[in-house]
């Protein structure tokens, strides 16, 4: 195994928001608290230690012990749940949807990043305890985002009716999915493990939350991973004051809207707040709470409340109040002794909208850590890259740019059009200086001629490249096939492939290789050659 790293920026797959954040550009600094480095964690530990109550710890540990009933719990995970009661214990958290059979590869990368970060912090702060947490997004309700995974370029799909929080979904119907999937796997030792994992997860558990907990627990329990389901009455009780504040004062709308005004001057806004950022949750129902004509209404239902009635409902039935994307991060930080949230670029971008809201409600804003991203390369693929003289950085170029670059490099015709265009621009700059001393109309003529001649050179360049691509058809085909293998659909493979493809080939050594390779605080893109 060989591990190399390149800057996230070099891949071209990460947003301006994330690139600027990693470079700690001044224009990002209003939107986060402590930066993900050791000094940042030193400050974050102090903030969270002063803000997080012992009673919350006891409630959390008790809720987790209940959630794990009926599951085989590894010794290290059980120990981590117990030490959450101690004042010197903190969590590092990642979250993910309940995608069918873990969904895309980066599910693994998120969780391994949390595990490795907890271990690194334990070395840096030996007097503290650090627990890796996977927060299951059990209260989401967008089933179409999670009802499939890709295996060897094909969708493995679960068809069923949508409705309510996905964590409560019955696993009925997944036996048919298992049969289709199992037929594609073969009968190797690794295939048998995958089949058994799927069957034990989905065919022996009644709902999607329990099935997902089982699978994540089987893959990562030896590392002490603690899995949290926020759809829990005891945990929701800790959030009651914030739910009431939202219903009465629209605090999230007011604070997040102010932040968005600043953020959108330089960056794309990821999500927009509503007047009330809560859902009403019951069996087969998760609908927005809206306030109209002095009445609180549950959207698309006949359920209504007066102000006093809804506040009473919060006290008596806190489980029914489900935070949306704006309030879910706050819920997480209220119930966990959390220091850091690990997520993808899109997640980090919407967390950027929330810092002022956290400040307003006096909850410490966590460190935001861009998760590890990985490109796995087989030994054969790396040899092909070497033979084609394609670097790891070039591997991520848009295909047309990569092909153009390589056919020019491989051509006997050594014509550097970029240099010629620069020379032309220099000549016209001199002509413009002369023109400014003569007639205004002459300046216009010079500029028009510059545009015409540069465009002419660019067209010649395109024609030459097209001709070279035809002449070097074999090279073009080899590069195209290889890049399509590495980047399916011209996208990062971590968003396209499921872990089962690699587990089928490498078995448990695949997860061990990732565990050994990922360095969360290096803030670099990782390439793992297996």
Residue 194 lies in a domain: yes
Looking at the fold, whether 67 and 117 belong to one and the same domain comes out as yes
Query: With bands split at pLDDT 50, 70 and 90, how would you rate the model's confidence at 430?
Result: low
Token pair in block for residue 201: 């997860």
Looking at the fold, whether 487 and 341 belong to one and the same domain comes out as no
Looking at the fold, whether 51 and 134 belong to one and the same domain comes out as yes
Q: Could you report the per-residue pLDDT of 431-472, keeping only the tens digit for each?
A: 667 666 666 667 777 677 777 767 766 666 667 667 777 888
Token pair in block for residue 49: 């230690």
Burial of 213 from C-beta contacts in 10 A (0-12 / 13-18 / 19+): buried
Looking at the fold, whether 348 and 487 belong to one and the same domain comes out as no
Task: State mean pLDDT over 486-504.
Answer: 96
- Predicted pLDDT of residue 440: 63
- Predicted pLDDT of residue 435: 66
Could you give the angle at which helices 106-124 and 38-51 cross, rounded to 10 degrees?
Answer: 80
Looking at the fold, whether 354 and 483 belong to one and the same domain comes out as no
Task: State mean pLDDT over 378-383.
Answer: 96
Task: State mean pLDDT over 175-185.
Answer: 95
Residue 262 lies in a domain: no
Looking at the fold, whether 97 and 113 belong to one and the same domain comes out as yes
One-character DSSP codes across 421-461: HHHHHHHHHHHHHHHHTS-HHHHHHHHHHHHHHHHHHHHHH
Instruction: Using a pLDDT cut of 90, give the percent of the chain over it.
Output: 84
The count of other CB atoms within 10 Å of the CB of residue 74 is 17
Burial of 490 from C-beta contacts in 10 A (0-12 / 13-18 / 19+): exposed
Task: State mean pLDDT over 374-384.
Answer: 97
For residues 428 and 249, the model is more confident at 249
Q: Could you report the per-residue pLDDT of 188-242, keeping only the tens digit for each?
A: 999 999 999 999 999 999 999 999 999 999 999 899 999 999 999 999 999 999 9
Q: Could you report the per-residue pLDDT of 288-324, keeping only the tens digit for each?
A: 999 999 999 999 999 999 999 999 999 999 999 999 9
Looking at the fold, whether 11 and 88 belong to one and the same domain comes out as yes
- Predicted pLDDT of residue 354: 98
Q: For every residue of 200-262, which 3-state class applies, written as one string?
A: HHHHCCCEHHHHHHHHHHHHHHHHCCEEEECCCHHHHHHCHHHHHHHHHHCHHHHHHHHHHHH
Task: State mean pLDDT over 128-154.
Answer: 94
Token pair in block for residue 342: 């690990």
Distance, CA of 244 to CA of 279 (rounded, Å) = 13
- Predicted pLDDT of residue 414: 63
Query: With bands split at pLDDT 50, 70 and 90, how would you rate the model's confidence at 413?
Result: low
Domain hosting 222: range is 2-238+326-373+513-529
Q: H or E stretch including 102? A: none
Please give the tally of structural domains in the chain. 2
Q: Could you report the per-residue pLDDT of 334-366, keeping only the tens digit for each?
A: 999 999 999 999 999 999 999 999 999 999 999
Q: Could you report the per-residue pLDDT of 6-46, keeping only the tens digit for each?
A: 999 999 999 999 999 999 999 999 999 999 999 999 999 99
Query: With bands split at pLDDT 50, 70 and 90, how would you rate the model's confidence at 95?
Result: very high
Q: Could you report the per-residue pLDDT of 501-516, keeping only the tens digit for each?
A: 999 999 999 999 999 9
Tally: H helices and E strands in the chain:
24, 15
CB 472 within 8 A of CB 412: no
Query: With bands split at pLDDT 50, 70 and 90, how would you rate the model's confidence at 268?
Result: very high
Residue 356 CB partners (closer than 8 Å, separation 6+)? 255, 256, 258, 259
Residue 277 lies in a domain: no
Name the nearest CA neighbour of 373 among 517, 216, 169. Answer: 517
Residue 507 lies in a domain: no
- Predicted pLDDT of residue 411: 80
Residue 28 lies in a domain: yes
Confidence check: pLDDT of 423 > 90: no
How high is the mean pLDDT of the chain? 93
Query: With bands split at pLDDT 50, 70 and 90, how would you rate the model's confidence at 65?
Result: very high
Name the nearest CA neighbour of 373 among 406, 404, 348, 345. Answer: 345
Looking at the fold, whether 228 and 335 belong to one and the same domain comes out as yes
Distance, CA of 419 to CA of 427 (rounded, Å) = 12
CB 478 within 8 A of CB 399: no
One-character DSSP codes across 461-514: HHHHHHHHHHHTHHHHHHHHHHHHHHSGGGS-GGGT--HHHHHHHHTTHHHHHH
Looking at the fold, whether 369 and 401 belong to one and the same domain comes out as no
Token pair in block for residue 2: 């060989």
Bridge partners of residue 367, in order along the sequence: 340
Burial of 322 from C-beta contacts in 10 A (0-12 / 13-18 / 19+): buried
Residue 245 lies in a domain: no
Distance, CA of 349 to CA of 92 (rounded, Å) = 19
Provide the terminal-to-terminal Cα distance of the chain, rounded to the nearest Å. Answer: 5
Regarding beta strands 148-151 and 154-157, do their DSSP bridges make them parallel or antiparallel, or are they unpaired? antiparallel
Looking at the fold, whether 115 and 219 belong to one and the same domain comes out as yes
Looking at the fold, whether 398 and 517 belong to one and the same domain comes out as no
Residue 252 lies in a domain: no
Q: Between the CA atoms of 213, 76, 110 and 370, what dihedral angle is there, to the nearest 10 degrees?
A: 140
Residue 319 lies in a domain: no
Question: Which range is least confidently modeled, 60-74, 107-121, 149-163, 168-182?
Answer: 149-163
3-state secondary structure of 528: strand
Looking at the fold, whether 104 and 25 belong to one and the same domain comes out as yes
Regarding beta strands 374-377 and 525-529, do their DSSP bridges make them parallel or antiparallel, or are they unpaired? parallel
Distance, CA of 395 to CA of 259 (rounded, Å) = 37
């Amino acid at each position: 195994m060989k591990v190399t790293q390149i800057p996230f920026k070099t891949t071209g797959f990460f947003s301006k928001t994330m690139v600027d954040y990693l470079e700690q550009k001044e224009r990002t600094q209003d939107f986060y608290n402590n930066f993900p480095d050791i000094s940042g964690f030193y400050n974050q530990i102090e903030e969270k230690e002063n803000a997080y109550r012992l009673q919350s710890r006891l409630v959390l540990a008790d809720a987790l012990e209940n959630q794990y009933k009926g599951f085989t719990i590894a010794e290290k995970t059980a120990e981590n749940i117990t030490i959450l009661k101690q004042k010197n214990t903190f969590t590092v958290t990642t979250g993910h949807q309940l995608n069918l059979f873990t969904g895309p590869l980066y599910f693994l990368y998120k969780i391994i990043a949390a595990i490795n970060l907890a271990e690194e912090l334990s070395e840096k702060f030996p007097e503290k305890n650090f627990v890796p947490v996977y927060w299951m997004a059990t209260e989401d309700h967008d089933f179409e985002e999670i009802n499939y995974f890709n295996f060897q370029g094909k969708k493995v799909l679960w068809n069923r009716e949508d409705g309510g929080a996905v964590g409560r979904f019955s696993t009925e119907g997944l036996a048919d999915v298992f049969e289709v999937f199992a037929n594609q796997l073969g009968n190797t030792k690794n295939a048998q493990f995958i089949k058994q994992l799927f069957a034990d997860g989905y065919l022996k558990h009644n709902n999607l939350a329990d099935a997902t907990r089982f699978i994540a627990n089987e893959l990562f329990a030896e590392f002490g991973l603690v899995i949290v389901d926020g759809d829990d009455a005891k945990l929701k009780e800790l959030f009651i004051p914030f739910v009431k504040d939202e219903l009465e004062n629209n605090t999230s709308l007011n604070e997040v809207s102010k932040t968005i005004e600043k953020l959108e001057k330089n960056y794309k806004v990821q999500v927009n707040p509503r007047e009330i950022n809560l859902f009403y949750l019951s069996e087969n129902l998760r609908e927005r709470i809206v306030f109209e004509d002095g009445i609180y209404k549950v959207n698309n239902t006949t359920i209504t409340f007066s102000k006093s009635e809804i506040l009473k409902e919060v006290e008596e039935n806190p489980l029914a109040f489900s935070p949306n994307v704006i309030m879910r991060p706050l819920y997480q930080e209220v119930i966990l002794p959390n220091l850091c949230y690990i997520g993808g670029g899109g997640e980090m971008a919407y967390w950027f909208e929330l810092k002022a809201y956290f400040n307003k409600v006096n909850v410490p804003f966590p460190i935001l850590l861009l998760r590890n991203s990985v490109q796995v390369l087989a030994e054969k693929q790396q040899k092909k890259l070497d033979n084609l003289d394609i670097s790891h950085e070039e591997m991520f170029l848009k295909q047309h740019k990569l092909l153009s670059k390589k056919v020019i490099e491989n051509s006997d015709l050594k014509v550097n059009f970029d240099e010629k265009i620069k020379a032309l621009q220099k000549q016209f700059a001199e002509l413009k200086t002369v023109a400014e001393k003569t007639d205004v109309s002459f300046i216009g003529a010079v500029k028009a001629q510059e545009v015409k001649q540069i465009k002419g050179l660019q067209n010649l360049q395109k024609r030459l490249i097209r001709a070279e691509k035809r002449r070097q058809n074999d090279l073009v085909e080899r590069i195209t096939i290889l890049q399509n293998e590495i980047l399916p659909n011209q996208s990062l493979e971590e968003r396209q492939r499921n872990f089962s493809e690699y587990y089928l080939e490498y078995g448990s050594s695949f997860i061990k290789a990732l565990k050994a390779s990922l360095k969360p605080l290096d803030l670099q893109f990782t390439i793992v050659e297996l």
